[in-house]
Chains A and B, each alone.
Chain A
Amino acid sequence: MITAVIPSLISTVRTDDTWITFDVNSLAENFWNSTFDGLTFGAIYALVALGYTLVYGVLNLINFAHSEVFIVGCYGVFFTLSALNFGPSAPRLAFWAIVGNLVLALVVAIVASALMAVIVERVAYKPLRKRKAPRLAFLITAIGVSFAIQYTIYWWRGPSPEAALTMFRPTPIFDVFGTIIDSQQLVIIVAAVILMIATDQFIRRSRTGRGIRAVAQDPDTATLMGVNKEKIIITTFIIGGILAGAAALFYVMKIPSGVQYSGGFILGVKAFAAAVLGGIGNVRGALLGGLLIGLIGNYGQVLLGSSQWTDVVAFLVLVLVLIVRPEGILGSSLGKSKA
């Protein structure tokens, strides 16, 4: 149906320029393929976006260093895998051996990312809060921390990406609309969705989650009601770090050659765009926004004919959302979400 209608509609506006195409045929042909690929990327963006959204909800701060929290997790995965002697081509392992390795890498990534998040909070943001610094100071510090970490990694590991390590060979599982879903995509999407539901339920149901929502709504009143604000803030950073660590594992799985000092930065901007699209401060919004940004970016890439368009398209979506509906699709507030 779609495959037949859209090309005939837009074939008249097609341009034959080489650098920008408007290749509707290509999109129609690869529609389901790029949909599932987009959802896979979207799941990763969504996990990273959660970290932005939670910190933004609690501190009203764009934590630019979150992209570095994520990339530190990627390095955690990389070092675990190289310690386990993985190479560019995946070894043939038993199912449980693969699962065991993945869980080990996941744990290392989560610990690395969460630790990084805590360090950033304690070293950079807490002193500013103590001094009641203006908002601009927080933002400048955030970008400064982001760059300091990025170029520490640069200094340590050099400018080129790390060698690609593949964990397992994606095996086809089943096919939908003639497109084969492989084990990799399935693992990423399912695991990411489980994590996001867990986060959502944690924020909504647990005592700590209630504390997070209370601080997001009104820090002073929350403090008066007996919420330990500092503890809540550090918990928020840890949750963001854990999710970024998980995202790091999936990212290395998806793009094995993407472990690089600057690898997190643009992904961070896209994840933030996802958070804004869904409604900043809104946990479910981050999920929706992440998946949408993944899809839109992938469609844009196929339609416009170069992978570099993904970033441009994601950025344009961000600007459009800010013009049309700055509060995002689901509305922006962590504090207002009801228990």
Chain B
Amino acid sequence: MSTTEGPTLIPDDAAAQAMADREAKGKPRKGWFPGLGEKWNALPRQTQWLFLIIVVVIAYLLPILNPPFITTEPGNNWQIALAQMSVYALVAVGLNVVVGYAGLLDLGYVAFFAVGSYTAAMFTSPDSPYLHIPYLWTLPLAMAITMFFGVLLGVPTLRLRGDYLAIVTLGFGEIVRILATIIPAMKGQVGFQNVGHPPGTDAEGQPIFLNSNGTPWYWLTLTIIIVVLLAAGNLERSRVGRAWIAIREDEDAAEIMGVPTFKYKVWAFAIGASVGGLSGALFAGQVGFVNNQKFDIATSILFLAAVVMGGTGNKVGAVLGGSLVAYIPLRFTAIAEFKYLIFGAALVLIMIFRPGGILPARQSLLAYGRTAYNKLREATGKKPAPGQLAPNTGKGAGDE
């Protein structure tokens, strides 16, 4: 890269990039939904809230509406499908903190999911000889335990370059499965039946949270997703979120500017892990049965595909991606068998042709923060071009 201003001889690639940047200036963003982001940002805050409330109400009504065409019936129960989709969406939101915000590749996310599931199962199932606690208490407990594992795994590897994290997490994902098989206390393939559920009975004295009824589980998970999204949004706009984005864009530069990169990387990893544990506990409760067969590496790759499809770094995209990854095999049962092949190939194709995913994160908005972004828009009358404040934001995560 040239370090001087003005017309210098720069290599072809850089010249092409500069040309593309110049051409892109002032033009609407390309994509499947051109200008949607700008239109959304231009709306008054109240209108935005109104829209969001309508979306949330529709989301809550989904199990009752059972919209034709979209529904997974016949073939798969729609309410249970929704419950599974919501769990995947929560997983994607958690993984998005690690991959999307901090730019750390976690290929063993299923391990945290598994730890959460086993926590819920071992503290509530009658098959387990240990202390039994009410199901709802296992949710924070699962978060705490997975966070501990996240720190345990993150501290040795996060001091190093990001690639090592990918392989260590990949190994960890496999190790958890092997340990679940060989440690007798985890009961291998036999597993734990009758995992607990939240309290409450309906008018006829039946428990509300049944494994065969997805609706209450869906509502519970949806509520948790909304809470986690609000928290993630706040984190994203806070000092922590800015630190993550700085690390993702250029770790060395962030370190030099005084960001304690190691600390924030461990935070991202641990927070992501705890959300994974939470979703695992919810999954265990909804399915009611936990054994070692459900937590293979392939599931990890589905989670990653969810984040990448939705749009790395975009929490709404993560919800969308997570739901889609769960929804597609349930809706189109003919292709369910090939889901790993499809989503594996999708990862490659998205990376090559549409690195931003379905809903690309607005890099500039993320990098500058909402206030600075809007100020800049008011001042210049248009979207700040990539490179106006920080030269590297237009190209996505840290260049080589």
Contacts and interface: CB of A to CB of B under 8 A. Distances in A.
B345 interface: yes
Contacts of A272: 167
Q: Name which of B304, B338, B352 has the most chain A CB atoms within 10 A of its CB.
A: B352
B364 to A, nearest CB: 16
Interface stretch (A108-116, A133-141, A247-255): A133-141
A154 B341 contact: yes
Interface residues of A, number: 50
Interface string B369-395: 000000000000000000000000001
Given A154-B341, A312-B179, A269 B167 contact: yes
Contact of A136 (B105, B157, B167, B346): B105
Contacts of B341: 147-148, 151-152, 154-155
B352 A127 contact: yes
B183 A146 contact: no
A135 B162 contact: yes
A323 interface: yes
B344 A147 contact: yes
Contacts of B135: none
Contacts of A133: 351, 355, 396
A19 B188 CA distance: 12
A160 interface: no
Contacts of A308: 178, 181-182
B37 interface: no
Given A132-B13, A134-B400, A135-B400, A147 B347 contact: yes
Interface stretch (A77-85, A185-193, A206-214, A314-322): A314-322
A123 B399 CA distance: 21
Interface stretch (B27-35, B139-147, B168-176, B233-241): B168-176
A276 B347 contact: no
Main SS of the interface on chain B? helix
A319 B297 CA distance: 19
B183 to A, nearest CB: 6
Contacts of B347: 140-141, 143-144, 147-148
A198 to B, nearest CB: 27
B226 interface: no
A203 to B, nearest CB: 22
A150 to B, nearest CB: 7
Main SS of the interface on chain A? helix
A148 B348 contact: yes
B156 interface: yes
A306 B308 contact: no
B273 interface: no
B399 A124 contact: no
A60 interface: yes
A71 to B, nearest CB: 14
Contact of B17 (A62, A132, A136, A140): A132
A51 B112 CA distance: 30
B166 interface: yes
Interface string B178-201: 110111100000000000000000
Given A19-B184, A135-B397, A319-B157, A148 B344 contact: yes
A18 B184 contact: yes
B15 to A, nearest CB: 12
A318 B297 CA distance: 18
Interface in A222-248: none
B220 interface: no
Interface in B335-349: 337-338, 340-341, 343-348
Contacts of A306: 182
Interface in B300-322: 301, 304-305, 308, 312
Contacts of B63: none
A147 B103 CA distance: 21
Nearest to A311: B178
Contacts of A140: 105, 304, 308, 347, 351
A303 interface: no
Contacts of A137: 351, 355, 396-397
Nearest to B352: A127
Nearest to B166: A139
A152 B337 CA distance: 11
15 contacts: A19-B182, A132-B399, A136-B312, A136-B397, A139-B166, A141-B352, A143-B301, A143-B304, A146-B344, A151-B338, A308-B181, A315-B171, A318-B167, A319-B156, A326-B159
Given A134-B400, A136-B312, A144-B301, 7 more contacts: A19-B182, A135-B397, A148-B341, A155-B338, A273-B167, A276-B164, A308-B181
Interface of B: 11, 13, 17, 99, 103, 105, 107, 156-157, 159-160, 162-164, 166-168, 170-172, 174-175, 178-179, 181-184, 297-298, 301, 304-305, 308, 312, 337-338, 340-341, 343-348, 351-352, 355, 395-400
